[in-house]
Structure 1
């Protein structure tokens, strides 16, 4: 059991709108709130009319050099700043350090409150986003969702880095009662850091070897539609803006998940596919093998469509092998249920509060 918390921890940040409600990192924080009365959400909205429009314009103009700085970020900063000013002895956890990096830089120094932040991007993306020593200086600790991120933060001078693995709702995302019937169907989910060039070549190679192949692609950038449609010989369906239940149905109706990545740390699509008992063929990059282990998915060298196609064809042609892959993927996914992720967060909170001399009154 996680150590009891004797100080309050406030988690900051709603889920990303494009993430399934049953797979976003914020779900683990919400469950931590249920497990401990000392963990609370801090997502209180602030009325826009509470601020003068002139002040809002001036603050946004001053922050123009900050990538992705928006009105939403500004309002969140104000909510958190007001809260910090009124309360002492609390720990604040920014769930998405990349999105709220201005908070991570400024608020700890202004209010001398301990702040921790979780970062989700691979090292190359962190550098591109300007997550550097200067922006990390005020943080009490950094949380990462894959061990492959640790070295980057240590090189930026962060002395406390905790690996807290991402999670998935394994009760919601679950296998269908029976394997999907009908023609073979591949599913591709998501667009962030996906290797669509390799995907197109892989689909073409699979289609040449497996008759009747259908491919369902959820969330691909529109600029890739034509090339992917051609690669699939017209047997490609694109879907956007579907509900969580429609997403679950799409997984359960598929024979195989095809997930080529350019880079990755944690991946909702990977964990969702495994939890649904889908055989997964994916790229051996970044944090992917930390989640799949040696047998939770079929790992292929990056940018190698031939190897990826061979792995997919074996799954589609060999029912016994496909059944084995389904069981292994589902079993592996249970290690990342959100109940596990929430307890990891509580352990980190207790450690950070103790290190900061705040574990008890």
Structure 2
């Protein structure tokens, strides 16, 4: 058996973190023994991972500024657990894992975000130096969750040996959980009436995710769609600004901000359509879940979203276009047959991203490393 030290920045409810939980649930434990290290926090998914009888070490470090301590601690844990290889996720963990091993063990790095081609200047210069320098020195095995991410790292850091390994989902498990949720009860709990049309958005509150574009589209439709409502799920630095914008646009009474949730399937069950108006996107785990739940969607035609969706599964519009997004939402609201066709196609396409085959492919990467 090979011992795998899995290093990740934190264990919150983000896409990379939920993907890790799914991976660990399906990993062949007769071949691989994982130990998970979370550099920072908060770590609400540490409990579910421990429930899988997997050790989780929470270092509680103070963000990327504690990178030196992260390198020291990961090195210590490598030796203490006799790890045969390291699998890293997200920037600080990617750098700390490589520097801690210094080539003494194989490193697999999963690239989850287009970190360099879409963000502004400043700290990114130092990030490029640390990320690119450690990558070129010790040449880990790179996996990218989409071609968009693969292109970003290739063009920005000059890394060419990147394999495509798309995000995935335990489709059967999600559908079992959906079946246990009552649509009328979930809608009632949200204050949504039987004749209301409910839009759902799940994502970190950040300019990338385009919650402001969704709110502006909602304001466009408000005069002609009095029963149109929206639930926005997630947290992040831009949530206060989104709340303020909702008030200034006059749609605050139509929008609920729910924070993070450990049971998104209840919301997928309650919703009539999913909206994902990202300005850029690596892949979109929440969108994949919504598709597996059979929800029709209005999405931005950017990045990994175009790899996950097709015109048969989603209404795709250019980013940062609230009027066009409003038109797509209006079509979903008024055309029941369209919603049915898109939802059925989305449910079918989601099965292509099922966990079983994806984790077997990852195990092959581990075995070759």
2:233 aligned partner: 218
Q: What CA distance in whole angstroms lies between the structure 2 residues aligned with 1:45 and 1:30?
A: 12
2:326 aligned partner: 309
Q: Does 1:249 align with 2:266?
A: yes
- Structure 2 unaligned residues grouped into runs of 5+: 37-54, 188-193
2:3–2:85: 8 Å Cα contact kept in structure 1? yes
Higher RCO structure, 1 or 2 (CA under 8 Å, sep 6+): 1
Q: What CA distance in whole angstroms lies between the structure 1 residues aligned with 2:332 and 2:234?
A: 24
1:265 aligned partner: 282
Q: What CA distance in whole angstroms lies between the structure 1 residues aligned with 2:144 and 2:339?
A: 32
- Structure 1 unaligned residues grouped into runs of 5+: 1-5, 49-55, 354-361
Q: Report Cα offsets for 1:129-162 as digits up to 9, x if no partner.
A: 7144213122321111111122333342434211
Count of residue pairs brought into register by the alignment: 324
What SS does the aligned partner of 2:86 have?
strand
2:141 aligned partner: 141
1:255 and 1:225, CA in 2 relative to 1: closer, same or farther beyond 3 A? Answer: same
2:96 aligned partner: 103
Answer with 1 or 2: which has the greater Rg.
1
1:169 aligned partner: 170
What is the CA-CA distance between 1:309 and the residue it aligns to? 1.2
What is the CA-CA distance between 1:189 and the residue it aligns to? 1.4
Taking the TM superposition and a 5 Å limit, the aligned residue runs for 1:277-296 are 277-296=294-313
1:9–1:93: 8 Å Cα contact kept in structure 2? yes
2:40 aligned partner: none
1:47 and 1:308, CA in 2 relative to 1: closer, same or farther beyond 3 A? Answer: closer
2:74–2:96: 8 Å Cα contact kept in structure 1? no
Taking the TM superposition and a 5 Å limit, the aligned residue runs for 1:181-220 are 181-190=194-203, 191-192=205-206, 193-219=208-234
What is the CA-CA distance between 1:84 and the residue it aligns to? 4.2
What is the TM-score normalised by the length of structure 1? 0.78
What is the CA-CA distance between 1:286 and the residue it aligns to? 1.3
What SS does the aligned partner of 2:170 have?
coil
1:194 and 1:45, CA in 2 relative to 1: closer, same or farther beyond 3 A? Answer: closer
What SS does the aligned partner of 1:315 have?
helix
Q: What CA distance in whole angstroms lies between the structure 2 residues aligned with 1:205 and 1:233?
A: 14
Q: What CA distance in whole angstroms lies between the structure 2 residues aligned with 1:189 and 1:211?
A: 23
2:291 aligned partner: 274
What SS does the aligned partner of 1:217 have?
strand
1:139 and 1:282, CA in 2 relative to 1: closer, same or farther beyond 3 A? Answer: same
Q: What CA distance in whole angstroms lies between the structure 2 residues aligned with 1:329 and 1:234?
A: 30
1:167–1:340: 8 Å Cα contact kept in structure 2? no
What is the CA-CA distance between 1:10 and the residue it aligns to? 4.0
Q: Return the structure number with greater strand share.
A: 2
What is the TM-score normalised by the length of structure 2? 0.77
1:121 aligned partner: 113
1:359 aligned partner: none
What SS does the aligned partner of 2:360 have?
helix
